[in-house]
Structure 1
């Protein structure tokens, strides 16, 4: 299996153009190489943007064809100054869109992504966008009868943000019209968390110990969770996990870096909780994809969960009584990049196994063939 490569920024070309001896105003052209319409964020390096359009702090971006304003976010990645301009674009199938930058105040961008540490609920860390929400369990939950390990998935049917509201009322296991948390994690990896293997069994760490929010909306939220070292067989292991969630996406982008002593390699598994009765599976080991459409819960509906590896195949799939495991090899200090997440049939977007598996396949294709960005 090839070693996994780190995520690379969307391609960017900068070209100078002249027409009839007169220099044209620069524009941003976003091209879609796929035959499907796309609505997603693209990243323009901030330095390239400033070189082309100037360093004015007040500007707006518009569609050259119809004047529609394009929402944007300045992404810092936890640094003092912007690293990218994130543009939320709609691009037709096999087409492109041209964007202009105007020196005028932009319209406010509603916050669609959010994350925070939740000390009032046993050190949870929770995050969400306009279609889905998640949480990781914290130190204060350890040793309690209700302790659990993996990624928890919250089912939403509102585009509004719910994390603060649901924690405040404390009744988020009941659907009051916005959705609920009915996903059962227990002692599994839940909705696509990752952990080492030893002797074919998952070796769980303790819950995360450090957290840092790097960007927090309005269109993309990124944060990092750090874990203290633990023993996996004869090896001492530690890990950091960086999560990125974009507006409109059912899936997180996850970058995981293991520190591994000894020979510097470690088998790891990305896991999905398995239910007592059978659902439907999407198992494409060579394509680095696994999907699970759970059996329907009569009271709550149906959940779909999936994982997508960005580079290379999974080495094997393992079906255990309580979870499905997608196995690969981690290398010391080298990032593993994958996507995890889920959907709910009562959320209004994805209502069947076929639709969920199609979503996962399209997400894989989009990651393989990103939107192309050019400043002209």
Structure 2
């Protein structure tokens, strides 16, 4: 057998309740009413997902492009986005953003209309970047990340300049809410090293090297971390105003022959990328470990195994960066700061039970962006993210 993992399903995100037999004919074919409940003690601005199957009645009489969402009792339509996971031309789920106060309920209506919804420069984005070897980069209005591809790996292995050998996750410290990926890469072609210098929009001072960056993975064994090399293929699933989704696939690595596909998504207004990991292995693996680089080991670590959040807080140039990983605590075996004398091998490590599938969130906040001003505010963001994972919005399709 190739897979030797325990099966496990954890609700992380939005919990969807199907339409009951009480659904009216009106709602099925002209309007779908949706109730969204926030049962936490703080306001939540999140993306809700409705499977297209729940809108089949409405879609019999209209096209996806004419589907609109509004708060009941209002006239203004919200921004929406369809996700087509298999690229067959049909949306698999409809996304819209909700803004719900603490311990509150908001009702929405999904209808058909041809009124144009205003566009915004605030969006999510991801793409393969051939002009910088073969990076894959993604961003929203808060944060930006990148991963490294096979050509960058090949350059290192052939002792040529310009390559990067790492399956760690890089951070780009942006301070503006509009997209910067295309602009920074274009200017970097014109002026090499451009995005490593602050020009008013932020910059990339974050060193990954062979470390885990923020959210890279491995297997912890015999006091060392076994890791994959660069991704070997990518698949862009969606980009749009509310969510970007893509997949990175890695060649088998370690003596266990571990293959992994990472489905990564980033929602508007979130500081955390969602990682959905699918694992395959030739034989049973001892663990699956997540990491955050400790760089020069001058930062501060906070390990909260009970609630499933783990963070690093460090000075970079004249500001501070908080990095963090959040996941369901029942998946965590142990966590510790590994102090190594080998460059780039000191990481905050979260050792999880080996699973065929694992979901976690990795992200950051930079004081230069104004999103946080101190470590206490970063801890509060992590605490809220852990509560959000444990208490998804309750969505009822009426």
TM-score w.r.t. the length of structure 2 is 0.85
The secondary structure found in structure 1 opposite 2:231 is coil
What residue number does 1:78 align with?
86
Q: Does structure 2 conserve the Cα–Cα contact (< 8 Å) formed by 1:280 and 1:353? A: no
Q: Distance in 2 between matches of 1:100 and 1:68?
A: 11
* Separation (CA, whole Å) in 2 of partners of 1:355 and 1:46: 38
Superposed displacement of residue 148, structure 1: 4.4
Q: Which residue matches 2:383? A: 361
Q: How far did residue 129 of structure 1 move?
A: 0.7
- Secondary structure of the residue that 2:57 maps to in structure 1? helix
Q: Is the 8 A contact 2:165 2:229 kept in 1?
A: no
Return the offset for 1:35: 1.8
Matched, 1:175 2:198: yes
Q: Are 1:250 and 2:271 counterparts?
A: yes
Separation in structure 2 between the aligned mates of residue 103 and residue 25 of structure 1, nearest angstrom: 8
Match of 2:50 in 1: 44
- Give the Cα–Cα distance (whole angstroms) in 2 for the partners of residues 313 and 118 of structure 1: 34
| Contact kept in structure 1, 2:15 and 2:394, CA below 8 Å | yes
8 Å CA contact 1:265–1:329 kept in 2: the answer is no
Match of 2:164 in 1: 147
Distance 1:182 1:311 in 2: 31
Q: How many residues are treated as equivalent by the alignment?
A: 365
Partner-residue secondary structure (3-state), 2:316:
coil
Residue deviations 1:258-292 (CA, integer Å, cap 9, x gap): 21112x23322211111325333221123222011
- 8 Å contact 1:279–1:293 — kept in the other structure? yes
Partner-residue secondary structure (3-state), 1:266: coil
Q: Is residue 29–residue 374 contact of structure 1 (8 Å, CA) maintained in 2?
A: yes
- Contact between 1:287 and 1:313, CA under 8 Å: does it hold in 2? no
Give the match for residue 290 of structure 1: 310
Checking the alignment, whether the CA contact within 8 Å between 2:217 and 2:227 is kept in structure 1 is: no
Structure 1 residues 373 and 59 mapped into 2: Cα distance closer, same or farther (>3 Å)?
A: same
User: With structure 1 as the length reference, what TM-score do the two structures score?
Assistant: 0.90
The structure that is helix-richer by fraction is 2
Aligned residue for 1:209, secondary structure, equals strand
Cα–Cα, structure 1 residues 180 and 209, in superposed 2: closer, same or farther, change >3 Å? same
Distance 2:103 2:247 in 1: 35
Distance 1:24 1:86, change over 3 A: closer
Secondary structure at the counterpart of residue 352 of structure 2: strand
Unmatched 5+ stretches in structure 2: 189-193, 340-345
Query: 1:5 offset after TM fit, Å?
Result: 2.4
2:126 is the counterpart of 1:107 = no
Is this contact kept in 2: 1:241–1:255, CA < 8 A? yes
The residue that corresponds to 1:337 in the other structure is 359
Q: Contact (CA 8 Å) 1:43, 1:86: kept in 2 or not? A: yes
Give the distance between the partners of 2:250 and 2:317, measured in 1 at CA. Answer: 37
Q: RMSD between aligned alpha carbons?
A: 2.3
